[in-house]
Structure 1
Amino acid sequence: MTAEYLRAVRAHLGRLSRADRRRVLDALSAQLDELAEAGDDPVTALGEPAHYAAGLLDALAGDLPEGSASRRVFGIPVETRGPVSAEVRSRVWDPANPSLFVPRLFGIGWTVNLGAVAVRAGLIRPDDTDAEVLRSIPERDLSAARGVPLVIAGSTAAALALVWRSLPSSVASGFGMTGRPRGEAPKWTLTGVAALGALPALWAQRKNVPVEDRLVRAASATSLSVISASVVAATVAQARRPCGRWGLLTGAALPVAVAGSLAVVVVPLRSGLRRAWHAAGAAPPQSTLPKEKTP
């Protein structure tokens, strides 16, 4: 009963940052343990989970740190800390937050919450990223996840090196909605575009960080490496065949970037889920299993 109450409260705390949510849930867990030892019903002692969560949100509404991502300008979220902050990075993978769009990692606007996408797609449940599941993820799966952006960025750099001599001194600089180039720039600017994918891919290789953060780093790096590859491909194609609308490749790469980022988190996580459930001697919940085809 206490575990169900805790999950129900957590489902209503999506508006909180992950750090705040973990802090209040740890306190609630200790309180629930005390109630269980005393034989008290948590609903009777604390009220319905939705009402308890609403009280927590109201209590924390005025306790947000200055400079946090909750700052808004004309209703648009503003983030100044950037992806170097683990709390900021965690927004791109927050299954407990039902919002599909969350404040972006740096600057003004929103980005996609891959955790909410995975939950709505039925790939995981909001509470499937607990410590036991993360500990159960095989190291080979974590290594494979970190290797995805590295392979994409390395392939992009290798392809650029192969065609470098054949490129003109000036190449397209940016593309419009129609796929046409907006201007021109020296071809060496392509090395900066390639670095946009290579540097995050190298950054994602760190091992001395928590498992969940390793997956989040891999997801972010995968997204950037796909976008980098698409811009390089579009620019090279535009240089070779100027009549084409090669800039449309960059738009087509966006869903690929989201799918790739989702895969490098969900695949290892589901592997950890299977191992955790097998270790507990139970079958995984139906929501985490592939759906059977009906005749």
Structure 2
Amino acid sequence: MTAEYLRAVRAHLGRLSRADRRRALDALSAQLEELVEAGGDPVTALGEPAHYAAGLLDALAGDLPEGSASRRVFGIPVETRGPVSAEIRSRVWDPANPSLFVPRLFGIGWTVNLGAVAVRAGLIRPDDTDAEVLRSIPERDLSAARGVPLVIAGSTAAALALVWRSLPSSVASGFGMTGRPRGEAPKWTLTGVAALGALPALWAQRKNVPVEDRLVRAASATSLSVISASVVAATVVQARRPCGRWGLLTGAALPVAVAGSLAVVVVPLRSGLRRAWHAAAAAPPRSTLPKEKTP
């Protein structure tokens, strides 16, 4: 009963930042445990989950969520805290937030909330990312997730090194909507494009951070490494076969980047869910009867 109540309240708190939501649910969880020990009923003591959640939202109304953009320009979010704030980074994986698009981690505009995508695709439920599940994720799965962007970035760098001598001194500096080059630039600029995928991949290798942040780092790095690889590939092919519209490869890479980012989070998370479910099934049932008072 308490788990269902907690889950129902969580489903109504998507508007809160992740930090506020976690604090509110931790406090509610402790309160529910006390009710269980006293033999109380959550609905009787606290009201319906929707009403309880509405009270929390009203109490926190007017506060600036930590996950919101630091400022806006003509209504467009502008963010600069993503590289240094785990709370800001977590907005790209927030299953409890139903919004598909959230402010970017760095720069102007919006990015995809992979958590909302996973929920809508039926891969997880909004309340699946809790502390117990994260603790249950095997270390090998976390290592594999971190390794995905590293492999992509490394493969991109290796492929670029193999064709470097055969490239002309000038290559496409970018591509338009039609896939045609917009201009030319020295070929060494390709090393900068490759670095845009390699540096985030290295940044994602940190182990001394919370599990959730490790997954978010891996997802962000995977997306950037895929986009970097697509730009390098399109530029190299364009240099060798100038008649094509190879810039369209970069557009085709966007859904691949989203799918890859989603996979490096969902696969370990589902592994943690399975382990948490098995552990819960093996645990002895907890009594909900009130404790007898000693005379």
TM-score calculated relative to the size of structure 2: 0.90
Give me the whole-angstrom Cα distance separating, in 2, the residues matched to 1:292 and 1:181: 79
Give me the whole-angstrom Cα distance separating, in 2, the residues matched to 1:127 and 1:64: 23
Closer, same or farther: CA 291–158 of 1 in aligned 2, 3 Å: farther
Partner secondary structure for residue 158 of structure 2: helix
**Is residue 71–residue 79 contact of structure 1 (8 Å, CA) maintained in 2?**
yes
Moved more, 11-20 or 78-87: 78-87
Residues 210-241 of structure 1 show CA distances to partners (whole Å, capped at 9, x for unaligned) of 11111111111100000000000001111111
1:255 aligns with 2:255: yes
Give me the whole-angstrom Cα distance separating, in 2, the residues matched to 1:270 and 1:73: 39
Closer, same or farther: CA 293–250 of 1 in aligned 2, 3 Å: farther
Q: How far 1:35 sits from its partner (Å)?
A: 3.1
Partner secondary structure for residue 27 of structure 2: helix
Q: How far 1:33 sits from its partner (Å)?
A: 2.6
Residues 144-202 of structure 1 show CA distances to partners (whole Å, capped at 9, x for unaligned) of 11111001000000000111111111111111110011111111111010000000111
Query: What is the match of residue 136 of structure 1?
Result: 136
Closer, same or farther: CA 282–158 of 1 in aligned 2, 3 Å: same
Give me the whole-angstrom Cα distance separating, in 1, the residues matched to 2:195 and 2:225: 9
Q: How far 1:136 sits from its partner (Å)?
A: 1.6
Partner secondary structure for residue 102 of structure 2: strand
Q: How far 1:130 sits from its partner (Å)?
A: 1.6
Closer, same or farther: CA 50–28 of 1 in aligned 2, 3 Å: same
Residues 32-82 of structure 1 show CA distances to partners (whole Å, capped at 9, x for unaligned) of 233333433322333222222222222212222799526433333232312
**Is residue 92–residue 216 contact of structure 2 (8 Å, CA) maintained in 1?**
yes
**Is residue 123–residue 288 contact of structure 1 (8 Å, CA) maintained in 2?**
no
Give me the whole-angstrom Cα distance separating, in 2, the residues matched to 1:210 and 1:188: 37
Query: What is the match of residue 50 of structure 1?
Result: 50
Closer, same or farther: CA 4–188 of 1 in aligned 2, 3 Å: same
Moved more, 129-138 or 109-118: 129-138
**Is residue 68–residue 103 contact of structure 2 (8 Å, CA) maintained in 1?**
no
Residues 110-147 of structure 1 show CA distances to partners (whole Å, capped at 9, x for unaligned) of 11111111111111111212222222211111111111
Moved more, 173-182 or 284-293: 284-293
Q: Could you list the runs of 5+ residues in structure 1 that have no partner in the other structure?
A: none
CA RMSD of aligned residues (A): 8.0
Closer, same or farther: CA 245–229 of 1 in aligned 2, 3 Å: same
Q: Could you list the runs of 5+ residues in structure 2 that have no partner in the other structure?
A: none
Closer, same or farther: CA 123–67 of 1 in aligned 2, 3 Å: closer
Q: How far 1:285 sits from its partner (Å)?
A: 18
Closer, same or farther: CA 105–154 of 1 in aligned 2, 3 Å: same
**Is residue 37–residue 290 contact of structure 2 (8 Å, CA) maintained in 1?**
no
TM-score calculated relative to the size of structure 1: 0.90
Q: How far 1:292 sits from its partner (Å)?
A: 47
Give me the whole-angstrom Cα distance separating, in 2, the residues matched to 1:292 and 1:284: 20
Partner secondary structure for residue 288 of structure 1: coil
Query: What is the match of residue 18 of structure 1?
Result: 18
Q: In terms of Rg, which structure is larger?
A: 2
Closer, same or farther: CA 291–110 of 1 in aligned 2, 3 Å: farther
- Output aligned runs, 1:23-172, within 5 Å: 23-64=23-64, 68-69=68-69, 71-172=71-172
